[in-house]
Every structure is written in C-alpha cells, then in structure tokens.
Amino acid sequence: MTSETSRGTALEALYEERRTFPPPPEFAKTANVRDRQVYDRAAQDLEGFWAEQAGTLEWVKPFTKVLSWNAPYAKWFEDGTLNVSVNCLDRHVRAGRGNKVAYYWEGEPGDSRAITFRELLEETARCANALKELGVRKGDRVAIYMPMIPELPTAMLACARIGAPFTVVFGGFSAEALAGRIRDSEAKVLITADGGYRKGNIVPLKKNADDAVAQSSSVEKVLVARRTGHEVPWTAGRDVWWPELVGKQKAECVPEAVDAEHMLYLLYTSGTTAKPKGIVHTSAGYLVGTAATHKMIFDIKEDDVYWCAADIGWVTGHSYIVFGPLANGTTGVMYEGTPDFPDKDRWWQIVEKYKVSVLYCAPTAIRTFMKWGPEHPAKHDMRSLRLLGSVGEPINPEAWLWYHETIGGGRCPVVDTWWMTETGMILITPLPGITTLKPGSATFPFPGVGADVVDEDGRSVPLGGAGYLVLTRPWPAMLRGIYKDDKRYRDTYWSRFEGRFFAGDGAKRDEGGYFWLMGRVDDVMKVSGHRISTTEVESSLVSHPAVAEAAVIGREDPITGQAIFAFVTLRGGSDGGDGLSSELREHVVGKIGSIARPKTIMFTPELPKTRSGKIMRRLLRDIANGQPLGDTTTLADATVVETIRAASAQGRDDA
Ligand code: WT7
C-alpha cells in the first residue's frame, strides 16, 4: 500500500515536529462546547445525550423511545413524527427570524441574491404545491439535477415538506450516470435547470436531463428552473418551466408530518463494484445528528456567516449546506462557480464581501490555493474568519499549516472532520473550544460515537498502531441501508467485522489517542475528495470497442490527492495513438462525468495477473507510483511487469 507508506513517513516527520495547537483562549471562552465532560456524559448515556439534542427540534408527535438497535438496523426516535422543512424554516420564521438571511447566494458571473428564511419558506411552499400538481405524493421519489442555485435547496425542502424522498445527482455527472440513478430510484419527477455556469461556460443540464429521461421509464414530468436563459430542447406535455408553474402557486403548503424513520433522501455513492449504491437517509435522526454536529463542531452562533464551499450534490452539501445549518437557523453562503472565475481570488473576495466567519472546504481546494500562491488571499480583508474546517480526504500537515496561517491568519482553529456519505454526519472531529489540534489528525470521535482501529481479525489495535477504522455504536444520522439491496448493505459494511461498521478507511492512533486517517483500503479512489470506484472506471473503459481489458488505480497526486491512472490493453489491430487516449478519456467522461476523466492512460500488451486470473492491482499501484515492487511470486507471468515498466515511460498524461 504505497500511499499509506508515504503518508506514514509524513506522519512520522510530524511527530518529530510535535506541533500542537490548543484552542485560543478567547475562542475557548465563548465556545458552544466548553466542558470536556460532554464526552463522558455521552459515553455513559448515549440515548440521554441524543434525546437532549432531539429536544431542540420541533416535533408533531414527540418520541418516547430513543433508539432500537437490532444490528445492523437502527431506528431512532421511532414513534415520533415531524416535518424536516418545518424544522428548517417555519419555526425560525415563527420565532421572529423571518427577515434573517438564510442564504447569500453568489452566481458565478457575479450576480447575487440574499434570501431570507421567510422567502425560502414561501418558495418552498410554492414548489411543494407545484410538485403536488405534477402528481407527486408522499413516498414518491423525485430526482434533482441542478446547478448551485437557490432552487436546489428549495427543491429538496419542498420534497421534504410533502414527504417525497429525493435524490440529488451532482450536476457534473453525465446523462448516463443520471439515467442509472433515475432507474434505480424510479423517480417520478425530475427537477433540473436549463443550464448552469462553470468557468464562464454553460453546462447543458437540460440536454443531459433529456438524454437521461430517454434512457429510463419512470419520469413523467420534468420541472425546469431558469438559470442561463439559453434555448433548450423541450418536450411539450412533459416539461414545465419552474417560473411558470411554481410562480403561480400559493405561498403556503400544509406540511406532511412524517414518521421519524420516513426516508428523507437517497444519495448514490461509489463502492467497489461498477454499480453505485443508493444510500438511504431518514428524517429525524438525520436532522438531529446534522444539526447537533453543525452547532458544536462549527461553534455556530446567531450572527455567524457560515460558508461550506462544497456542492450540494455531495453529502457534505446535504448535511452542511442545507439541513444542519438551516435547522440551526444559520446564515449561509452558497456559491455557484469555480474558485478561479474570473480570477484566482474569487473565494477570498466572497469571504470579504459577506464577512464569512466560518469556512468549510476540502484539502484539494486548499492545496490548489497553495499552488496559486498567497498573493490571492492577501488582496482581501479576511479578518471576519474565526474558524476553518476541512473534509473529504486526509489533509496533509503542510496544507493544514498553510490553511491555518495564510487563510486563518494563525488565529482560527482548523477542524479536520472525518465522515462519509454513509455516516450522514461528522463522526471524528475536534471540538474547537476544547480540543488541542495536531495538523493532519481528525483528532477524536464526536461525543457518543464509538470508533476503533482493528487488525485483520477485528482485534482492537493498541495506541500507536494502525489498522482498519470501524464504528462500534449506532449514531442518529447513520445510513439505514442501501436502497433495494439489503444484502449489499450487510456485505459491504457489517460482514467484515461482526457487529461493527467497516468504513473502508485505514487509520492510526497515536499514543495520545488521536486518530490519523490514512486513506481508503478498498478499490475506491479519492480524486479531489470525490469518491470514484476503480471498477466503475474500468467498466466504462472496456465498454469502448477498442479496449480488451483495463485496470484502474489511484496514483498519488500533489493537488488532487489521488489521480486516475488507467492501464489499458487493446483489442488486436489497435495501437493506441494519441487520438485514442483522448478518445478513451472522453468516453469515460460520457459514461460517468468529468470527475472520472483518467489523468494518465497507459497502453500495455498485458496486465499482471495471478495464476487464477485476478489482476494484481497492488503491483500496478507500485508501478504507477514509481515504488519498488512488492511480492511478485504469485504472478502467472513474471515478465509482464518488466514489459509494463518499460512502457510506463510512455504513459500519456492529460494535464
Ligand atoms: C471517504 C468518504 C464526508 C463528506 C465527503 C466525503 C474520506 C472524508 C476525511 C477526513 C481523511 C476523509 C474517507 C472516507 N474522508 N473525510 N477528514 N480525513 N479522510 O464523503 O464521498 O462518502 O467519502 O472520504 O476516505 O471513507 P464520501
């Protein structure tokens, strides 16, 4: 495991350095969590701890039972009922916060809007009424494929208002990827937009949506928000413009009270096979978990301006742009575009413009900013910042220190938060008012969370050692299953270590009990923090007529963490000229989306296999990373590796 070895070296270096960052005293004084007892309290009375958090929500029918845990199936607050959109909107308006800004929205071309909680509530109600008019009933699934515009959270909240589970598909996914998700979820309505802006160009969402709907049979109506105003293909009778249909609705909609365990949404994520998994999240536990973690970890106060710079298409956006922050009545920033449009200081301009106080983003973005240089943030007054967060992949100590110093001016704690699509909420994280930080460590499990590091046999590894990360107790925002695939749910997460959740990450604990995440231990890559399965990219490559076989691995990359490296053997007659490698890249983009475009494609006459015919990825990983090869004795044909090595100089890089 090459990546682990070299990260291990970086960690060793850090131990030597022993730099730690206790909470700044002024920060600690007013922090939401100031008392370490919170850990003991939650450990001793898990249900009491979460019941207290749940008490901050507004219930239609209060729960009497906190948890029923019949591993691997959890139910939280089972006999309670509530409505998620009411908790995110109505109760704040009723409490006199109607004129408080819910989102400062910033469009890529420079247009902007401030949307208050009252406005968001009214548009949500109109959208919910429109969905009903389109035939959506409680329990029906709605697919959402949109750019980062205010209609996106509105659509999610509208679905929640009427009890229709939604599935958001990231706007960068291809028509084919969207079609697969529509088919699996059997969505009745698709909500999209004419297009969105990215790097100054229009992303043709409506066109992709049409192609996807043509490849599926469940969608009856397509609701189209207007963003770019460009001409789009139109199917009369099926397609409806948002401004026309939503615009004419009443601004009130009686919320549907749903059971705590009613499905709130499905979110598809990559596993180790070619088929993405539909992760099921339900209502009450999810909202309790995201709201509590948001408030404690980001230390949210009434006057904070909080910016999570993720896309809502990923779980980070669901939990920490939409549900957690809105449940807490937080003012958020939402930005449509890329960090370098029109210039490399766009983010810092936004921080200055809105006086952002809490910023949450991904290590890959931080490393990109490091590369661009400190002159871009230096142009702006960023003294409003008081807390920084990181998520999505391990943050290397160098990037952590740069973020802390150059963005945070040395005064803002950095919370490195570990979690996954499946966990729904942050699970391993500092609490900024009490945790002494170590750059590169996500520190400790959140109160009430049980995390352990185990060896192959599931035995807890003593402090100082490394192994597999597992979760030992249920938590309220945990996934409730994989949609329509219970077997895969059990097999993927619960069969490797009996009764414990297997995360798929390697981790190490130091002598002080700090957790250091070390990357995935399965066939899942992390490219710019996005989760992509090697098998998914392989199967899209082999669907190209020139390709006989493909093996894909993640190669270490200084900016994106990992980059996609594809070994490809061609069918007879094809020699893999320059034209073919770019054709294959675009082929993968068409099948999955641009996030899966291979950076390097290497044509090789053969792939290294075991005698039983299994491709030896470990060897390929070593070759791609330029590492000494490990054990090659199980190879069927030892000369293959030398052939590939010799050819590896010719690997064609995209960038
Ligand atoms: C995988 C989950 C959680 C929102 C975004 C990613 C990696 C996530 C960290 C972190 C080290 C991290 C893990 C995990 N990961 N956060 N702070 N330190 N690794 O969600 O796409 O479901 O990916 O992201 O490898 O398994 P996701």
CATH number at residue 622: 3.30.300.30
Range of the domain at 535: 524-650
In this structure, how many other beta carbons lie within 10 angstroms of the beta carbon of residue 86?
23
Q: Is residue 625 part of a domain?
A: yes
Name which of 174, 419, 402, 426 is nearest 297 in CA terms. Answer: 426
- Identify the residue whose C-alpha is closest to ligand 1 atom 8: 392
Q: Is residue 73 part of a domain?
A: yes
Bridge-based pairing state of the strands 515-520 and 101-106? unpaired
pTM (2 d.p.): 0.94
CATH number for the domain including 391?
3.40.50.12780
Ligand 1 pocket, 418 CB below 6 A? yes
C-alpha distances in Å from residue 503, one per residue of 268, 294, 427, 643? 16, 21, 11, 36
* 30-85 residue pLDDT tens: 999 999 999 999 999 999 999 999 999 999 999 999 999 999 999 999 999 999 99
Task: Compute the residue count for the chain.
Answer: 655
Name which of 570, 517, 550 is nearest 620 in CA terms. Answer: 550
Q: Is residue 12 part of a domain?
A: no
Given pLDDT bands bounded at 50, 70 and 90, which one contains residue 654? low
Same domain assignment for residues 384 and 482: yes
Same domain assignment for residues 325 and 374: yes
Same domain assignment for residues 491 and 343: yes
Bridge-based pairing state of the strands 112-116 and 561-570? unpaired
Q: Is residue 581 part of a domain?
A: yes
Q: Which two tokens stand for residue 638?
A: 């030892």
* 595-639 residue pLDDT tens: 999 999 999 988 888 888 888 888 898 888 888 777 777 777 777
Q: Is the CB of residue 156 less than 8 Å from the CB of residue 322?
A: yes
C-alpha distances in Å from residue 282, one per residue of 171, 317, 449? 23, 16, 19
Q: Is residue 655 part of a domain?
A: no
In this structure, how many other beta carbons lie within 10 angstroms of the beta carbon of residue 419?
25
Same domain assignment for residues 448 and 555: no
**For 148-169, what is the mean pLDDT?**
98
- Identify the residue whose C-alpha is closest to ligand 1 atom 23: 420
Q: Is residue 128 part of a domain?
A: yes
Residue 510 Cα to ligand 1 middle (Å): 20
Strands of 189-193's sheet in order across: 239-241, 221-225, 189-193, 142-145, 166-168, 263-269, 277-282, 481-482
Which of 318, 417, 438, 517 to mutate to test ligand 1, by most ligand atoms within 8 A of the CB atom?
517
Same domain assignment for residues 503 and 539: no
Q: Is the CB of residue 226 less than 8 Å from the CB of residue 193?
A: yes
Ligand 1 pocket, 394 CB below 6 A? yes
Q: Which two tokens stand for residue 426?
A: 């942050």
Same domain assignment for residues 502 and 557: no
Rounded to whole angstroms, how far apart are CA atoms 554 and 467?
20
Rounded to whole angstroms, how far apart are CA atoms 327 and 295?
10
Q: Which of 478, 509, 540 is the last residue of a domain?
A: 509
Q: Is the CB of residue 445 less than 8 Å from the CB of residue 497?
A: no
In this structure, how many other beta carbons lie within 10 angstroms of the beta carbon of residue 38?
17
Ligand 1 pocket, 416 CB below 6 A? yes
Same domain assignment for residues 486 and 597: no
Q: Is the CB of residue 227 less than 8 Å from the CB of residue 194?
A: yes
* 267-326 residue pLDDT tens: 999 988 889 999 999 999 999 999 999 999 999 999 999 999 999 999 999 999 999 999
Ligand 1 pocket, 316 CB below 6 A? yes
> Domain tally for the chain?
2
At residue 134's C-alpha, the angle toward residues 133 and 139, to 5°, is: 100
The pLDDT assigned to 648 comes to: 67
* 443-465 residue pLDDT tens: 999 999 999 999 999 999 999 99
Mean pLDDT of the chain, nearest integer: 94
3-state secondary structure of 602: strand
The CA-to-CA distance between both ends of the chain, in Å, stands at 25
Q: Which of 509, 540, 567 is the last residue of a domain?
A: 509
Given pLDDT bands bounded at 50, 70 and 90, which one contains residue 338? very high
Which of 361, 391, 516 to mutate to test ligand 1, by most ligand atoms within 8 A of the CB atom?
391
Residue 212 is classified by DSSP as H
**For 253-274, what is the mean pLDDT?**
95
Residue 393 Cα to ligand 1 middle (Å): 5
Rounded to whole angstroms, how far apart are CA atoms 321 and 312?
7
Q: Which of 509, 533, 550 is the last residue of a domain?
A: 509
Residue whose tokens read 């958090």: 53
Same domain assignment for residues 491 and 563: no
**For 166-187, what is the mean pLDDT?**
97
Same domain assignment for residues 500 and 535: no
Nearest ligand 1 atom, CA 524:
25
The torsion of the CA quartet 358, 528, 312, 293, rounded to 10 degrees, works out to: -50
Q: Is residue 9 part of a domain?
A: no
H-type helices in 417-571, by residue range? 486-489, 534-542
Same domain assignment for residues 82 and 218: yes
Residue 649, pLDDT above cutoff 70: no
Q: Is residue 6 part of a domain?
A: no
- Omega of the bond prior to 342 within 30 degrees of 0, cis? yes
At residue 454's C-alpha, the angle toward residues 448 and 458, to 5°, is: 105
Same domain assignment for residues 462 and 581: no
- Identify the residue whose C-alpha is closest to ligand 1 atom 27: 420
Residue 131 Cα to ligand 1 middle (Å): 33
- Identify the residue whose C-alpha is closest to ligand 1 atom 10: 418
Same domain assignment for residues 90 and 237: yes
Q: Is the CB of residue 527 less than 8 Å from the CB of residue 595?
A: yes
Rounded to whole angstroms, how far apart are CA atoms 132 and 164?
10
Ligand 1 pocket, 393 CB below 6 A? yes
Residue 253 Cα to ligand 1 middle (Å): 37
Q: Buried b vs exposed e over 356-371: b needs ≥16 C-beta within 10 Å?
A: bbbbbbbbbbbbbbbe
Rounded to whole angstroms, how far apart are CA atoms 113 and 347?
17
Rounded to whole angstroms, how far apart are CA atoms 453 and 386?
32
